[in-house]
């Protein structure tokens, strides 16, 4: 009996020592942009707060610059439970929760404050909750900012200037409908393919917020920047639903707190680049023009036919409630 008790005590001590290390859960977080981008800043803040709140219960492994594949592949990995977390653009999300596409309607928001109020309010939070129905869990809305057009063909002032322009868009029916209506030649393409396609002339241009244009140095492969602000581009911090359901209440609270702070960090980055980005890109050699109110109105008029489709898909009542949200 003494022999058995001694061995039992030794085994118990070993388990006690090994327990915390064995209990650590690795969180793989993937995102399309570099560590010094708004996605990277948010991912780092998310890790920082989770670790501060939970001690040594989790470890993080970051996969920036599409290290786990394109956004759609990463989200599918979350559904399967092989990836725990991601920060993604709204353009990809519409393939999983179609109602998110409403936020991608051109000229929907009057400014960043308007967009943030909608996303943080009942409309945005209701749509965030829909991700639980598709094997995902939305923690918080993030942000990329307003999207602008870059290209190598010509400066853009009127809808006629985009006629036939081969422009990369996200795999998003709302964006495709808008550029089709303008007379462009939209080309849906996963982000990892974009830079090489621009270099090889497969496409003429692309559209993205300043936060992306600056951080990935699109000035190295694009000559013209048109500050069009045609679409506001949210982002989202998502986790795998199987991962989420395996957490206890304290861990979930830590994740929610971390996501809120990560979102604030992302928005802070966007605020900074919205102020400095145009000058930065001019200094890097891009030819920049900013659409006037009259020029923007002409673009909005050019996509009137697309709005009819948006109303059918999302209902005019929802669109109007976003436009008029206070």
Cα separation, 46 vs 35, in Å, equals 13
Question: What is the pLDDT at residue 9?
Answer: 40
CA angle 276, 104, 34 (to 5 degrees): 45
How many domains does one find in the chain?
1
For residue 33, give the nearest of 61, 60, 67 by alpha carbon: 67
Cα separation, 214 vs 38, in Å, equals 11
155 in Cβ contact with 161 (< 8 Å)? yes
Helix (H/G/I), strand (E/B), else coil: 61: strand
Question: What is the pLDDT at residue 326?
Answer: 87
Domain span at residue 226 reads: 2-323
Question: What is the pLDDT at residue 16?
Answer: 39
Based on its alpha-carbon atoms, the radius of gyration of the chain, rounded to whole angstroms, reads: 22
Cα separation, 287 vs 145, in Å, equals 21
Cα separation, 202 vs 218, in Å, equals 16
**Paired tokens of 228:** 């069009």
Q: Which CATH number covers residue 196?
A: 3.40.190.170
Residues of the chain with pLDDT under 70: 1-22
Q: How much is the pTM?
A: 0.86
Cα separation, 48 vs 60, in Å, equals 10
104 in Cβ contact with 174 (< 8 Å)? yes
Question: What is the pLDDT at residue 57?
Answer: 98
226 in Cβ contact with 149 (< 8 Å)? yes
Q: Residue 237: phi, psi to the nearest 5?
A: -95, 115
Question: What is the pLDDT at residue 172?
Answer: 85
The model's pLDDT over 241-292, given as tens digits with 9 standing for 90+, comes to 999 999 999 999 999 999 999 999 999 999 999 889 999 999 999 999 999 9
């Amino acid at each position: 009996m003494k022999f058995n008790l001694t061995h039992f005590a030794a085994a118990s001590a070993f388990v006690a020592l090994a327990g915390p290390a064995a209990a650590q859960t690795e969180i793989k977080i993937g995102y399309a942009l570099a560590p010094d981008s708004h996605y990277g800043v948010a991912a780092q803040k998310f890790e920082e707060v989770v670790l501060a709140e939970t001690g040594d219960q989790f470890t993080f492994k970051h996969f920036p610059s599409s290290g786990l594949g394109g956004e759609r592949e990463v989200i599918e990995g979350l559904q399967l439970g092989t990836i725990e977390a991601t920060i993604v653009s709204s353009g990809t999300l519409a393939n999983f929760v179609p109602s998110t596409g409403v936020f991608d309607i051109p000229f929907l928001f009057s400014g960043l404050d308007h967009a943030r109020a909608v996303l943080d309010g009942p409309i945005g939070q209701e749509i965030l909750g829909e991700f639980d129905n598709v094997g995902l869990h939305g923690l918080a809305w993030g942000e990329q900012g307003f999207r602008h057009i870059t290209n190598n063909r010509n400066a853009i002032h009127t809808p006629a200037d985009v006629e036939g322009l081969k422009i990369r868009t996200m795999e998003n029916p709302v964006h495709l409908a808008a550029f089709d209506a303008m007379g462009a030649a939209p080309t849906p393409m996963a982000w990892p393919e974009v830079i090489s396609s621009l270099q090889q002339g497969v496409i003429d241009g692309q559209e993205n917020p300043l936060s992306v244009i600056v951080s990935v140095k699109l000035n190295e492969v694009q000559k013209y920047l048109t500050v069009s602000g045609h679409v506001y581009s949210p982002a989202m911090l998502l986790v795998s639903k199987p991962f989420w359901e395996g957490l206890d209440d304290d861990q979930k609270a830590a994740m929610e707190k971390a996501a809120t702070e990560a979102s604030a960090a992302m928005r802070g980055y966007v605020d900074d680049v919205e102020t400095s980005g145009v000058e930065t890109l001019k200094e890097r050699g891009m030819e920049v023009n900013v659409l006037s109110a009259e020029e923007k109105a002409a673009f909005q008029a050019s996509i009137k036919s697309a709005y009819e489709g948006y109303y059918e898909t999302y209902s005019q009542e929802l669109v109007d409630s976003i436009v008029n949200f206070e």
